[in-house]
Chains A and B, each alone.
Chain A
Amino acid sequence: MDSPAPLALEVSASPHIAAAGVSTRNMMLDVMIGLSPVMGVAIYQHGPPAMGRMLLAAAACAFFEAAFDKARGRAHALANGSAVLTGLLLALSLPPTAPVHMLLLGALVAIGLGKSVFGGLGQNLFNPAMVGRAFVSVAFPAGVSGAAYLTDGMSGATPLTAFKVSGRPAELSDLLFGTVPGSLGEVSALACIAGGLYLIIRKSASWQIPLSMLATLLLLGTLRHAAANTPDTWSVTHDLFSGAVLFGAFFIATDPVSSPLSHKGRILFGAGVGVLTWFFRTFSGYPEGVMFAILLMNAVTPLINQFMIPKPAGAAA
């Protein structure tokens, strides 16, 4: 009556089942799918060179990740796709004219300083792509200045710069469809929203961060408009739809590793990014501030995690 061949039975801790199709790799793939509308707009506008830049940055990040892992004797984390994703985000956050050396250096810094020194995947304090982006924008100021956004198809400065200089706001329809100059990934509000909603529906990005970031910008923008007594041609919608706001809100600020864990922590994080972005845009010499806003809030994340511990169910209020 005993079963014939003794089976080798595993002994392991509960639970003994896991959600199907949920893995680190699939989450990275999901973000890439979410990025596809944005990548599509970039390729549509700038053709093969845009594709080349994305592939180059992705390949460079993958290469550096493998190299650093090997140097530090860590298991290869390449298969989970996070390095490729970093490369894509880096290329998408740079101007369409970014030269090869800028992409390569950005990738090296993103993976090396942004990720590997912290101990690799999951350990990094800052969003690696933004570390790389910040580095090249300081190292090659000309490479990310107004002139860098001049391409065949599009002439003129980015909407934010143009408005600062001439006071003429961009057409909203241009902002929606991305027919304005800008970084590869940031120009089309529609593409960012579509991809972002996909990520949120798939639960691959939190909804709290984009929502609170955009709501904060909306609020501050509205206040500014109320305060300005001259009729303002730059509307609140311009605030939200221009520059890296949507791209940053949906694809960069939501990077799980460098954002808080709890729901309230994420709301605070998003609000912080919003306030800082508004601050940089309003008071600094830079027309755009999303990148630095996110990096600064990344730095605050450990504090948020430490002090914003949600109350367990049933705890005294």
Chain B
Amino acid sequence: MSTTLIPPPEGKGRFSRGIHPPDNKHWSGQKRVSVLEDPEEVQVPLLQHIGAVAVLHVRPNSQIDAGGLLAEAEGMVSAPIHASIAGKVGRPSKTTLPNSRRVDAVKISRNPEAPSRGHELWSKLSASLWNPEAAVSFSSGEILDRIRAAGIVGMGGATFPTYVKLKPNPAKPVKRLLVNGCECEPYLTADARLMEEAAGAVVVGALCAARACGAYRIDVAVEDNKPEAIAALKAAAENTWVRIRKVETKYPMGGEKQMIRAVYDRVIPDGGLPLDVGVAVINVSTAAAIAMAVIHQEPLTPRIVSVTGPGIVEPRNLFTPVGSSFAHLVAACGGLKPETRRIISGGPMMGYTVPSLDVTVTKGVSGILALTETSVPQGGETACLRCGRCTDACPLNLVPARIVQSTRHRRFDLAKRNHILTCMECGCCAYACPAGIPLVQWIRAGKAEVRKAAPPKGGQ
């Protein structure tokens, strides 16, 4: 095997096309993370990840400690679930996930005697004395075991079980670990606050993850609209081999393909995964959760949620027990303004609207966004002008207008020829469209039809 002396290609911190929406980080960007007091009850969903539903491990009416195991992972791709507050386990029930899916859940009624662990966990996470050397005292296997036991999943929203992603695969070795601190969705500030206030955990988590998967390079990508986060990470990463990479503020920089282009100048083949170019991508929140799991053996039960937007009375970034209802978080932020029109789980580009606040925070919920009349798209839909702005915006170089035209005419063969299945539903096209056409909605519908006609051969 020839080892090359030529340094691997470096990205220029940019990718082609995409959009520049106003970042709207000012609502909550300067609000330090505060610990949400434990709610009276939580509904912990047994499916907070991609994969098999976790299997209940406790009996109704038993008492459980915060961090105790509620449900065990089932099968190859799954993740265990832990109690996010201490209290009495209720009967198996159902709850609604932000994507409107109804799933099995366990209710925990708070035990008023037991102390809340939120403050303790946050002070561990945001501690200034994270030791970057700590990672080397664990083997890859030990780290993976702890990641798995802690129930860590991708916290950027994908919720893919992290140990499955990091488990070394000799056929496709990981060379580089890319940690996503872009937070390219407008409004959201959870990751930015985490990087600023818990930079040490992010760096140690990244070192642990790289050790687990065998990566020999670590880069943390952060958009250049977060100078404080970059400074904090640089300080925490001093004397380590973690590199902090400033990238352009542009949506969707946090998309895997765009980020890998911007940082490594590599192109993921169409239909492929980052692993195809030797990269594993994790979110900064996931990295911090890995640090907590490996060093402190703390399971993933709280996460930071930005409660933000023009519809929130007092926007905040809340360190929240998983299973809390959106209503509880919104109430802690002074409630909703009457002009609120949409509540979105996640960011405005790819998040889901929820029909009510009776929805549960999961490991993948990074924000609750309240948009008002004037902040959602205005005006009606006109016919397509074929102006091509959607094409100019699409980061994947698709022709969205053609895909949608084919879908409208139920010509799914044409939709497929126009690469409908490549679309990642980032929303750039619909954002840019002057005619107000809900392109992404059409594309989703078209994809379902195309897949019905011919089952996908795996991948995305």
Contacts and interface: CB of A to CB of B under 8 A. Distances in A.
A19 B335 CA distance: 28
A26 B340 contact: no
A90 B268 CA distance: 48
A10 B257 contact: no
Contact of A17 (B186, B271, B357, B382): B186
Given A7-B336, A22-B432, A313-B396, A15 B350 contact: yes
Q: Specify the main secondary structure of chain B where it touches its partner.
A: loop
B388 A314 contact: no
B432 A2 contact: no
Interface size class of A (residues with CB under 8 A): 35 or more
Interface in B388-410: 388-389, 391-392, 395-399, 401-402
B72 to A, nearest CB: 33
B300 interface: no
A269 to B, nearest CB: 11
B336 A3 contact: yes
B427 A3 contact: no
Nearest to B327: A2
A266 B387 CA distance: 11
A310 B397 CA distance: 7
Interface stretch (A54-62, A134-142, A257-265, A277-285): A257-265
Contacts of B433: 18, 22
B430 A18 contact: yes
B383 interface: yes
Nearest to B271: A314
Contacts of A101: none
Interface string B30-58: 00000000000000000000000000000
B431 A15 contact: yes
B402 A256 contact: no
Contacts of A201: none
A122 B386 contact: yes
A217 B330 CA distance: 63
B440 interface: yes
Residue among B378, B386, B402 having the largest count of chain A Cβ atoms under 10 Å: B386
A24 B19 CA distance: 19
A96 to B, nearest CB: 31
A262 B391 contact: yes
B342 to A, nearest CB: 5
Interface in A289-317: 305, 309-316
Given A14-B349, A122-B385, A305-B402, A314 B270 contact: yes
Residue among A14, A256, A312 having the largest count of chain B Cβ atoms under 10 Å: A14
Contact of B385 (A1, A17, A257): A257
B167 interface: no
Contact of B388 (A14, A22, A206): A206
Nearest to B330: A3
Contacts, number: 178
Nearest to B354: A9
Interface residues of B, number: 74
A3 B444 contact: no
A121 B338 contact: no
Contacts of B397: 310-313
A314 B272 contact: yes
B353 A17 contact: no
Given A16-B353, A122-B382, A261 B391 contact: yes
B384 interface: yes
A23 interface: yes
Contacts of A105: none
Interface stretch (B175-183, B288-296, B360-368, B369-377): B369-377
B148 interface: no
A5 interface: yes
Residue among A15, A121, A313 having the largest count of chain B Cβ atoms under 10 Å: A15
Contact of A14 (B268, B352, B385): B352
B87 to A, nearest CB: 18
A176 interface: no
Interface in B3-22: 19, 21-22
A302 to B, nearest CB: 11
A256 B388 contact: yes
15 contacts: A2-B357, A3-B331, A15-B431, A16-B348, A18-B378, A18-B433, A19-B19, A120-B383, A256-B387, A258-B386, A262-B399, A310-B398, A312-B396, A313-B397, A316-B270
Interface of A: 1-7, 9-20, 22-24, 26-27, 77, 80, 120-123, 203, 206, 256-259, 261-263, 266, 305, 309-316
Closest 9 CB pairs of A and B: A15-B427, A122-B383, A18-B377, A256-B387, A13-B441, A314-B270, A16-B348, A315-B270, A24-B382
Given A1-B328, A10-B341, A311-B397, 15 more contacts: A2-B327, A5-B338, A7-B341, A9-B353, A12-B353, A14-B349, A14-B425, A16-B344, A17-B376, A18-B430, A77-B382, A203-B389, A309-B399, A313-B395, A314-B269
